[in-house]
A and B are shown apart, each in its own frame.
Chain A
Amino acid sequence: MTSRRFDHALLLAGFLAIWQVLHWAAGADVVSSPWATIARAVELLGAPAFWGHVRATLAAFALASVISIAGGIALGLWLGLRHFAGDVADPILGTLYSIPKITLYPIILLMFGLGVSAKVAFGVIHGVFPIAIFTMNAVRNVAPVFRRTALVMRLSPVTTAATVMAPAALPEILAGIRVGVALTLLGTLIGELFAATSGLGFALIRAMDVHAVVDILAITLLLFCFAACVNASLRLVERRARHGG
C-alpha cells in the first residue's frame, strides 16, 4: 500500500517536472508554470463567478448524462433482445459512434440555437451511442444457459429480466455508462465552446480569446481532475457490480 502511494507521488513529481521543463522550453506565452497554474486554479475555486460557470456546466452535463443513459439503455436493451433489429442496427450505431460529432456543430446550432439545449444536445449525441452499443452487446453476451435456466425454472419475463438478465449484463452496461458519461462531458464542453453564454467551456473560449494562458491551463486542470474523479468512481461501481454479483 505504501509502495503504491509512493508510485503515485513519483508520478505526480514526474508530471510536474515535465510541465516545468515545458514551461522553461516554450515560455510563459505557451505554457504557464505549474505553480502559477495551480495558484490560479485555487484562486478560481474561491471565486463566485467561477462557481456560476461550474453550476451551468454541471446542470447541462447532468441533464445530458440522464438522457444519454436512459436513451442508450432503452435502445440497447431493445436491440439486444431483438436479434434481427440488432443485426440491422449494429453497423449503423458503430458509424454514428465513430463519426467526429464536432463536425455536426453547425447543424446542432442551426437546430437548437445558442444556449442550454444546444449543449445538452451536443452531450447526448456524444454519449448515447456508446451506451447503446455496450448495452446491446451486454444483453447479447448473456450466456444462453442463464436464459434456459430461467425458462426451466418457469420464471416470468419480469422476474427473468430483474433477477437473471440484469445482474448478468450489468457490469458491461456500467462499462458503457462509464465510457458514455466521459464522452457526454466532452460533448457538453464542446457545445459550450461553440454555443454557450455560460459554463466552463464558455469560460475557456473567453480565456482563449484574450489569450489568458494561465486561465486556459487552470480551467483545463480542474476539468481534468473532475473527469478523473467521475471516471474513478464509476470504475469503482463497475468493479463492485462485477465481483459482488
Chain B
Amino acid sequence: MGWRLHITKVGAARTAFVVLVFAALELLCRLGVIPLVTMIPPSEMVASLWSILAGGTFNNDIVFTLYNIVAAAVLAVVLGFFLGAGLHALPRLRRPLVPLLSAYYAVPTFVFYPLLIVAFGVGRTALIVMGAMFGIVAMIVNTTLGLDHVPPAVDRTAAILRLDRWRRLVLVRLPAAAPHLVTGIKLAVAYSVIGIVAGEFILATAGMGKRIAFSYDNFDNRTMYGMLLLLLIGVMIINGALSAWERRLHRRFGQQ
C-alpha cells in the first residue's frame, strides 16, 4: 500500500516537473528572454509538428529515415550477435580487443561517411552502412557480456542433450543471454540512429536529418523545431519500448 502510494507520488512529481520545465520555456520564449531566432515556444513546436504530420509534406523523409534506421539496426543486431558470439569463443582475441571496443564510441566514426558515399553513392546504402557500423560494436560488446552470464548448468544441460554447436548457440545460449542481448539491441538502435542522422546532416538526398539541416541553414526555425520534436519523440518511443522489454526480461531472469 505504502509502495503504491510512493509510486503515484513519484509519477505526479515527475509529471509536474516536466510540465514546469516546458511552461518555463514557453514563458521565457513568449517574454522574449529567449529570442525567437534561438528557440520558438514549445506550443509553437507542437503546432508545427502537427501541421507537418497533418500536411504530409515530409512523409517521404520520415519514411526514408525510419526505413534506414530499421535496416541499419537489424544489420547491426544480427551481425553484432554472431561476431560477439565468435569473439566470446576466442578469449585470446577478446582480451586485447576490449579496450579498443570501449574506445570506439569516443570517436565520431561517421567521419567515414564521405568514404562510404564514394563507395556506395549518395543514397540509402551509404546511410544504412554508416548506421550499422556505428551500432554494431554495442551489440558485439553486449553479446559477449551476455554469454559470460550464461549459467554453467545451462551449458552443461545443452551438452548432455548433445546439441550441436549451432543449436546450442541459438536454442540455449541466446535465450539465456537474453537480458544482455536486449540491452545490446537497445544501444545498437540508439547508435544506429546517431549514425544515420549524422549522415543525413552531412549529405543526403532525403531524410529527417536532411530536413532539419536544410531548415537550419534557411533560418526556418518553425520547420526545424517541428522536425526535431518529431524525431526526438520517435526516438523516445522506440527507446521506451525497448527499455520496457529489457526491464521485463531482467525481472524474469532475476538479475539486476
Which residues of A are interface residues toward B (Cβ below 8 A)? 3-4, 7-8, 11, 26, 29-31, 84, 87-89, 91-92, 94-95, 98-100, 102-107, 109-111, 178, 181-183, 185-186, 189-190, 193-194, 201, 204, 208, 211, 213, 216, 219-220, 223-224, 227-228, 230-232, 235
Contacts and interface: CB of A to CB of B under 8 A. Distances in A.
Contacts of A95: 236, 239-240
A30 B118 contact: yes
A11 B111 contact: no
A100 B190 contact: yes
Contact of B97 (A11, A29, A110): A11
A182 B106 CA distance: 5
Interface in B194-228: 194, 197-198, 201-202, 209, 212-213, 216, 221, 224, 228
4 closest Cβ pairs, A-B complex:
A227-B106, A182-B106, A228-B103, A227-B103
A109 B39 CA distance: 11
Nearest to A223: B107
Interface in B152-202: 186, 190, 193-194, 197-198, 201-202
Given A102-B194, A103-B212, A220-B112, A110 B103 contact: no
B119 interface: yes
Interface stretch (B9-17, B55-63, B75-83, B140-148): B9-17
B96 A11 contact: yes
Interface string B1-27: 000001001100110011000000000
A208 B39 contact: no
B68 to A, nearest CB: 13
A89 B11 CA distance: 10
B99 A235 contact: yes
Contact of B18 (A92, A99, A100, A228): A92
A106 B235 contact: no
Given A94-B243, A227-B106, A107 B228 contact: yes
Interface in B34-63: 37-39
B44 to A, nearest CB: 14
Interface in B92-148: 92-93, 95-97, 99-100, 102-103, 105-109, 111-112, 114-116, 118-119
B232 interface: yes
Main secondary structure of the interface of B (DSSP, over half): helix
Contacts of B213: 106
A193 B203 CA distance: 13
13 contacts: A3-B92, A7-B93, A31-B115, A84-B10, A84-B13, A95-B240, A99-B236, A100-B194, A102-B198, A103-B232, A106-B212, A111-B39, A208-B114
Contacts of A3: 92
Given A11-B97, A98-B190, A182 B212 contact: no
B137 to A, nearest CB: 12
B164 to A, nearest CB: 28
B107 A224 contact: yes
Contacts of B115: 30-31, 213, 216
Given A100-B197, A211-B114, A185 B106 contact: yes
Given A102-B198, A201-B108, A107 B232 contact: no
Contacts of B10: 84, 87-88
A124 to B, nearest CB: 15
Given A182-B106, A208-B114, A228-B99, 20 more contacts: A30-B116, A87-B6, A92-B18, A98-B190, A99-B232, A102-B194, A102-B197, A103-B209, A103-B231, A110-B39, A178-B102, A185-B107, A186-B108, A189-B107, A194-B201, A208-B111, A216-B111, A227-B106, A230-B103, A231-B102
A181 to B, nearest CB: 8
B11 to A, nearest CB: 9
